[in-house]
Structure 1
C-alpha cells in the first residue's frame, strides 16, 4: 500500500510530452544529409528516451563508430532545437491530470535529462507546463538521472516540510533514481518503454497504463 503524495515530479519526454516524432525528425534529417535510409516512427518511438546517442545508434548502427559522433550529434541537436515543437503534443490525459493536481493543491514539477536550453524552449509551447513548481534539467546539476540528486534537489525547491514525493517516468533510470531518492516510483507504461514486460523488472511501486490512472491513487 502506497501513501498518498504531497508532491509529484515527472519526467518530460515520454511521460508528459509525446516528443518522439520531433526527435525522429531530427534523426531522419541527419540520416538524409548522410544519404542513409530513414527510420520509421515505429522503429524509433521506444528509443526516444535514450536521447541523441540512442537515436543516432539506431540510425547508423555499427557504422556510427567510424563516423564523427560529435558532429552528427550537433547536427541532430541543431535541427531539433529549430523544430522542437512541430509534432510534439501532450500525451492524452496529461492536461486533465495536471489540472487535477492544481485543483488539489498538490505541487508538481519536472525532472528531465534533457539539456536546459531545450527543456525551457519546449516548455514555452505548453502554458500548463509553465505552471509547475520546479524544473530540473539534465545539466542543472553535475549529476543526472539515474543519480538521485536531481530528484532530491527538485524536492528541496518545493519546500515541503514532510515530503512524500512520487516520481513518474518511463525509463529504467527514472525508477532507479526514485528508489535511490526514497521516493515512490511510478512507471508510465504508455511512454517509451522497451516493453511492458521489461518494465516489471524495474520493481516500481506503481504501474500506470494511462496518465489518468494516477488519479486513482490520489
Structure 2
C-alpha cells in the first residue's frame, strides 16, 4: 500500500498532475454530505433529489477507517493540488470473485468539463493495478452521462453491455430514488506474456450435478399456475441458456417482461433456500481440479447461472480450489454463447484463446467455445447425451473426468 503516512494514518493515497487523492479527515464529513445532497451530482446514480447523509455518523466511520489505515472500500477526498480546494470524491473497491474492482468518481458541477474526472480515473486505474490483484477495473455510468462514459473510454474501458439498477421500495419512498439505466465498462490489466495454461469450466452439469435443486425450485415457481410438477429429466432439457429461458420453457407460455421479472424473483427465492440440498460435485471432479491445479493450470468458471449463486456454489463445493475468475450472469444480461462474455473472461485471464479449453456439457458450451476460438471440450456426465453433443462437433468428447484428466496431460506438455 502506498501513500503519505501521518501519525499512522494514510493521508495521501496518490496524486495526479493536478490533484491529490487523500483519505478524509473526520471534518471532511460535512463536505461529503453536501456533495451527496447535491441533486446535480446524484441524479445520474438514482437520487435526483440528492441523498441525505448523517454527518455525525459518517464522521465516526471516517475515524474508524483511518484507524485501520483503510484505502479500499471507502470514499476518498479529491483535492486540487494548487490551492487544496475540495472538488469531489472517488472510490475503489477490493477485487471481487471475478477479479474486478469497482470504481466511482463524483465531482462538483463547477469543476466539470476540464478533464478532472478522466485524470482521477487514470489515477485510480494505475493505483489499483499497482497495489492490488485486480484483473480489471469496473464502472457503471448512467447511459445518459456522456461525460462519465467518455471518462471510461478515454482510459481504455470496454463496454460490456447495459442494465437497469432498481432501488428498493424503501429507497424510493425515503430518498426519492429512481431506476438507473447504466452501461457496464471494464478496463483490463495489460495481459502478461503468459505461458501458463488455463481451463475455463461450465458449472451446472459439468462440475456440479445441480439438477435436483433446480427442478425443485422450478416446481415451486410453476405451482402458482396450477401446473403439474416437472421431472428432473424434463428440466434437464430446459437448462443451459440462463434463468429467463428456463422459466419461459417451464411456464409453457410467452411471458411479459413483468411476468418474467416476477418469476425470476420467485425462482431466486426458491433456489436460494435449497441450492445445496441435493447438489453434489460429479464423481472424479474434485480429483480432476486438484490435479490440474497441481500442474499449474489456471482455472476459471463461466456459467449461465445467476452470478450470486455461481459464486456460492463454487466457494461451497470447492473450497480448496483456486479459481482465478468466477463469472455468472450479471446485470448486463450477457449469457453464453455470446462471444463478448467469453472474451471478457479471457481478457481477465490474459490468456490465448487457442490454448484455453472451454469445458462444458451442453451445445451452448460448445458454441461458446467455437464462437471465441477456444478448444471445445464436451463432457457426457452432464445434462446432454452423446447424440446431442456430437451434432455440435466438439474438439473432444469425454465420458468421465478421469478421461479428461488423461487427455489434459499431453495437452499441457505444449506449455513446458
> Which of 127, 152, 157 pairs up with 2:343?
152
Residue aligned with 2:316, SS:
coil
- Counterpart CA distance in 2 for 1:60 and 1:53 is 10
Q: Which residue of 1 aligns with 2:381?
A: 190
Question: Would you say the 8 A contact 1:155–1:163 is kept in 2?
Answer: no
> Which of 207, 210, 216 pairs up with 2:397?
207
Q: Which residue of 2 aligns with 1:169?
A: 360
- Counterpart CA distance in 2 for 1:18 and 1:76 is 18
Alpha-carbon shift at residue 16 of structure 1 (Å): 0.8
Displaced runs of 4 or more, over 4 A? 64-67, 160-163
Alpha-carbon shift at residue 122 of structure 1 (Å): 2.2
- Counterpart CA distance in 1 for 2:320 and 2:363 is 24
Flag the structure with larger Rg: 2
Structure whose residues are more often helix by fraction: 1
Matched, 1:112 2:306: no
Question: Would you say the 8 A contact 2:305–2:329 is kept in 1?
Answer: yes
Which moves more between the two structures, 127-136 or 114-123?
127-136
Q: Evaluate the alpha carbon distance shift between residue 163 and residue 157 of structure 1 in structure 2; reply closer, same or farther with a 3 A threshold.
A: farther
Residue aligned with 2:304, SS:
coil
Matched, 1:29 2:190: no
Residue aligned with 1:13, SS:
coil
Q: Which runs of 5+ in 1 are unaligned?
A: none
- Counterpart CA distance in 1 for 2:364 and 2:349 is 22
Residue aligned with 1:191, SS:
coil
Q: What is the CA RMSD across the aligned residues, in angstroms? A: 2.6
Q: Which residue of 2 aligns with 1:69?
A: 260
Note the alpha carbon deviations across 1:116-153, whole angstroms, 9 max, x for none: 12212222312347511111222276643212232233
Q: Aligned residues, how many?
A: 212
Q: Evaluate the alpha carbon distance shift between residue 52 and residue 139 of structure 1 in structure 2; reply closer, same or farther with a 3 A threshold.
A: closer
Note the alpha carbon deviations across 1:66-103, whole angstroms, 9 max, x for none: 89333223211211122211111101111010000011
What is the TM-score with the length of structure 2 in the denominator?
A: 0.47
Structure whose residues are more often strand by fraction: 2
> Which of 224, 244, 251 pairs up with 1:60?
251
Q: Evaluate the alpha carbon distance shift between residue 80 and residue 130 of structure 1 in structure 2; reply closer, same or farther with a 3 A threshold.
A: farther
Alpha-carbon shift at residue 34 of structure 1 (Å): 3.5
Residue aligned with 1:112, SS:
strand
- Counterpart CA distance in 2 for 1:119 and 1:177 is 18
Q: Which runs of 5+ in 2 are unaligned?
A: 1-195, 409-416
Which of the pair has the greater relative contact order for Cα pairs under 8 Å at 6+ separation?
Answer: 1
- Counterpart CA distance in 1 for 2:316 and 2:386 is 30
